[in-house]
Structure 1
C-alpha cells in the first residue's frame, strides 16, 4: 500500500512525537515528561508506568542496534527508504527526526536531557506543525550547542 506525501506529512509529526516521548519517558521519569507521555500516546504512558515499577534498565535497550548485523527485513527496508526520501525532500524540517531515528536504530548514545526538552515543547508548538517544531528544536540545539 502506497501512502502519498500529504498523508505521510499529516501523520508523521504525531507519530514521531509519540515515539520520541516514549523513549525519553523511559529515561527521564520526571512528572512533566509523564504528562507529555500521556498526551502523546497511551502506549507511552503504559511504558512509563512499567518503568516506574522498576522493571528493567531502560537505557540498555537504546544502546543496541535494532537490527544486529545491520540488515533490515526487505519489506521494511523498502518502506524505510521511502521515509528517508520523504525526509530528504524537505530536509530542514525533518533533519532532527532523521538523525534521531538513525541514532536509535544504530544504538548510538543520545543526549537524554536534550530529548527531554524536545518532548516538553508546548502542545501549541506541536500542534503548529513540523516547521514550528523544527525551529524549536534548532533553538534548543543552539542553546545547548549539540
Structure 2
C-alpha cells in the first residue's frame, strides 16, 4: 500500500520551477531488434536553466539553493507505440516490461489490435495514431514533493 506524502511548502523549492527545461531525444539500438518499427524509446533530461540564457542571468531572488545553469535535476522515460505496423502493440509493450504492459493495456485493452479501449475512446476526442507513453519520471530529492512530476510531461 502506498501512503501519500503531504506536499512540501513552496518555500522549500530549490529554484524557480518555471526555469526547468526538457531536453528530449530518441534512442535506438545499433543492432536491429524485433518490433523496432513499433516500439521506440524516448527520454528527456530535466535541466535547471539554460546555459547562456541572459534572461535568467540576473538571479534577482538571490536563491543560493538554486542549481547552476544547465544542471540536470531529473529524467523522463517515454515509449512511442507506433500505429499501423502490423505488430500487436499490447504484445510489444508486454515483451518490453510489465510496467509498460500495464500502461498500454489501460489504453489498448488486451487485444492490442482492435484499436483503443472503450474507456480511452470515451476520454479522448480523436483516439487515432501513435501513442506516447510516459513510463517514469524521476527528480532529484530536492525537487520531490512539490507535485512537479505530472507537470513535467512532453506537450505535443
Shorter-chain TM-score tier: under 0.3
Structure showing the higher strand proportion among its residues: 2
Structure of greater Rg: 2
What TM-score do you get using the length of structure 1 for normalisation?
0.27
What TM-score do you get using the length of structure 2 for normalisation?
0.25
Structure showing the higher helix proportion among its residues: 1
